Amino acid sequence: MVAGQAQWGFVLPDPPEVPTGKELEDYVAGLFQSTQHYVEKNVCETDVLELDVMATSFASGQPDPHLIEVKGGQWGFSDLFKVVGWMHYLSIPKGLFITTRGPEDKPVEFYSERVGRKGLRVLVIGDVANARRTFGTAGFGTVDEGAHDLWRYSFWTERRNHRSPEGRDARAARRHRAA
């Protein structure tokens, strides 16, 4: 079924053409899900952290988790160091900071070099229309367009229709920390 088509007496809306905020997180989660990653969204540990996305690849036969923070607005070292802190707290050696805007004060490479030493990569997706290509070029796999559209829509619909109590995913954060 395609969004916007009437079936069973109701019409399904379309997600926003250019995702922002939580829709951008769903968009990024869909990128990982469509490239054979196991995805967990909005992993929370009350009063400690809220992870936008946890994506784990099993391509090598062993779990290869990535902690992912998605940011659509201005950002700087404080945002990057927060993610590095979460990585350390959860013992997750790889992180990815995905943003739609480059930094305003220095080139992105300035930031990437400093946090890259701690296992955090910075990926700027300046134009969402090219996000799938940028994602693949960064080494996360070739994005299947149909699968991405499906997963993005699924995550977006889930967020709109299911409001879970805060902290429901704390067990996922503890599981990653214990591993």
Query: What is the mean predicted confidence (pLDDT) over 155-163?
Result: 79
Put simply, whether the predicted model's pTM sits higher than 0.85 gets the answer: no
Query: What is the mean predicted confidence (pLDDT) over 120-133?
Result: 92
Q: What is the CATH number of the domain that holds 130?
A: 3.40.1350
| Residue 163 in domain | yes
- Say whether pLDDT at 6 is over 70: no
pLDDT of residue 163: 56
DSSP string, 65-78: EEEEEEE-S---HH
Q: How many domains does the chain have?
A: 1
| Residue 66 in domain | yes
The answer to whether 97 and 80 have CB atoms below 8 angstroms apart is: yes
| Residue 1 in domain | no
| Residue 94 in domain | yes
**Which domain range does residue 166 map to?**
25-145+158-178
pLDDT of residue 98: 96
| Residue 81 in domain | yes
What are 28's two structure tokens?
Answer: 């990024």
Percent of the chain at pLDDT > 90 equals 60
Count of positions (residues) in the chain: 179
pLDDT of residue 4: 53
| Residue 16 in domain | no
Under the banding of pLDDT at 50, 70 and 90, the label for residue 1 is very low
Beta pairing partners, 10: 7
